[in-house]
Structure 1
Amino acid sequence: MPTPHISPPTVRDLVHAAATAPSLHNAQPWRFVYHRGTGVLDLRADPARGMPYADPDHRAQFISCGAALFNLRVAAAHSGLVMHVSLLPEPEDPWLVARVRPGTAGGAAATGALASLRPALARRHTSRVPFEDHPLPDAVRQLLIREAEAEGARLLFPGGWHVRFLVDLIAEAEHHAEHAGDPDEARWLRVGTAPELAPDGVPWSAVGPQSQDAAWYSRDFGHGTGREQARVRFERHPQLAILSTADDDPPRWVLAGQALERVLLAATTVQVATGLTTQPLERQSLRWLLRDPVHGHGAVQMILRLGYGPTGAVTRRRPVDDILDLEP
């Protein structure tokens, strides 16, 4: 039986959906290559969009590519397509993150679960604004825990002193960035004429305010720019979640990205706003302190902030023609 193919217009639709994924500073560090002869779609990390200061080992870049891969799976399922994915299929080509092949068989229940997340792709945005001091119901927490587990990751909701400890680590990371500077952050911040029209990066209108007290520490995008973010009161009790994987290597980073996006989309479907906090993850000396203090195992890949409130500003995405190559 011949291998199924997907048409170039459908490939464009899938890549457009994939590119709605979050990425550190909205760098969108991915490229797609469609091989028309074989019907295979490759997802590649773009080394030119790496961040030597914040992400020297490319962990965050692979997580972003994993999130884009999950979006592609969601869009494919919504279109009735079955896609078989091979992660990091060629050891001699480390920038080849995944190879996606159309197939003919798949679990209907799993495909349906993915397809149901399709409307959330356009609604999910990273929120950097205050949330209400209204706790997530336990049913919502359990839903998000199951979504992470479905992709082979673990989601932990810390409480009490553990949340305060995490906030203190975020504060320490911010303090370090204030004194040391962050050239990656400066590279991707969009200011000047019509920054909202930039196809990548974070426009000033999307950076959000700073917290006026120690209840929370937002990323200070004003380092070295001469600009200051407004200071407002954030929620008194931030609701944080820690996403971790059993091991810490490129395959698990891609896995973490897929689990992260599955959690973010599921949260969006139940009207929960989401934000991502990466400052302590950008410093190896702090990252290991983020581990579960009870079990002490696993590698923390992301810190999520969740709550009820505005879903965040829209940030633009690069045109499909800039990230998709059609090969013979």
Structure 2
Amino acid sequence: MTFRKVYTADSKTHGNESFISPPRVVFIIDGKTPHGGLSDRLRGLFSIYYYCKQRGYTFKVAWNYPFKLEDYLMPVHENWVADEADLTHDKKVVDFRFFNNYVGMSGHQADYFSLLDFKKPICHVYSSITQREDLYPAFFQELFKPAPRLEQAISQCLQEIGGKYITVSFRFIGILGDFKDHAGFGEELTVEEKRYYIKKSLACLEQLHMRHPQCYKIVVTTDSPYFLKLVKSLSYVYVIPGRLEHMDYAVVDDYEVHLKTFLDFMIITKAEKSYSYQYGKMYGATKFALTAALIGNNEYEVVKD
């Protein structure tokens, strides 16, 4: 990786990094490589947190791109926010690891831990690898609580929803021509194809509405502003307000843009049940709703046509 060039043997240190005990691992989100969306980033973070728990190491987070994680999710007990000393680039005291789930790594725990193991006092890690989904509720509760502004926005959404709800997530990955995403696998659909995909998606909503008469609303999350505008007119649908952008492309630290993503995610964690709809060229590997449902310990189902 070219950005490893910032690690040098003569970087300024604070003089005591070589005496750090226990060793510490810093999970990094800094925009120097594609990190994926919120789900990919949290999965990588959880995998490093789990590694630190198993090894008895100190866990730190330097999530600074394009926003600081602690502006949305704050530490609960121990302060995991990395400080200046944690981010030294002195190769005498820092090891470096890079993992990416898009390269097909199995994520087998023993292999992953073996590759993570290091001998220096500090290790900087980039990762989106999945480990121990069954422990996601515990990991989230141990690490995070919503920052006041996010907590207030969650409460406002729940009040507007007004009762029990399910969520349905639609991942179009740009095939409707209104969203930029590096996960896209094809060109924008034709006008007729778009109409058909929208028709299928609306039919899914109608079917789930009839399946869950006890739920007051269906909360729709998607990466398509156009689809959100359409479903907003349905009486049984609730759309979380805000603007849509992918984290790897929203390079400006705009609180409101990223608030929408966190709200979508947190509202899914509190649903009676969560769904993802997949058809044709829609993104079948999405884990956004799944990750949120796992954290919330609620039921999740994929609807396929």
Which TM-score applies when normalising by structure 2?
A: 0.30
Query: Larger RCO: Structure 1 or Structure 2 (Cα < 8 Å, ≥ 6 residues apart)?
Result: 1
Q: Which has the larger radius of gyration?
A: 2
Which TM-score applies when normalising by structure 1?
A: 0.28
